[in-house]
Every structure is written in structure tokens, then in C-alpha cells.
Amino acid sequence: MRLVIKYGGTSISASKDIQAVAKYVNQLAKKDQIVVVCSAVSGTTDDLIEISESIKKENKSKAEQLASKIINRHKQLAKQTIKKSDLQKN
């Protein structure tokens, strides 16, 4: 059977949550085909909207600041979640 599972942003906003989702999906994948759909990490959509508004107002520095915030949030989350050093990339 093929299952499609969707996770909202708050379900994947912390390393422990991502690990729990991965464990659950891994268990399901032993007997079914799994398709996982994830929303943006909590807070990211709001930041993206704010970036677009900043660009519209020609506030490049604010847009760059918000983009850096998103990048750093995801890098930190990846670093906390990925335990194998050979898979980590700065």
C-alpha cells in the first residue's frame, strides 16, 4: 500500500521531533510505500512573507537579515539532527 503522510511545521521544528518522525516513517516503510510531505519549519513561512514585503519596500538589508535567520535556523536544526559527521556539511 502507498501512504502519504503530511507533517506540519511545528511537527518538524525541533531535532527530537524530526527524529521521532523519521523513526515512525522508517517503521511504516517496512511494509508500505511512504510519501512524506512536510510544511516549512515553524516560523519560516512568516519570515518568507516578510522577506517578500521587505523586497517590495526595497529594504534589501532587512530581506538579507531574514534570509540569514532562515538559513541559520535550518543549519542548526540539521546539525542537531544529523549525528553522522560524514553527512554533516558546514
Parse the chain into domains and list their residue ranges: 1-41, 43-82
**With contact defined as beta carbons under 8 Å apart, do 74 and 13 qualify?**
no
C-alpha cell at 18: 524530526
Those residues of the chain that have pLDDT short of 50 are none
Q: What does the pLDDT read at residue 83?
A: 82
Radius of gyration (Cα) for the chain, nearest Å?
16
Nearest to 18 by CA among 29, 7, 32: 7
Beta strands in the chain (DSSP E): 2-7, 33-38
Q: What does the pLDDT read at residue 74?
A: 95
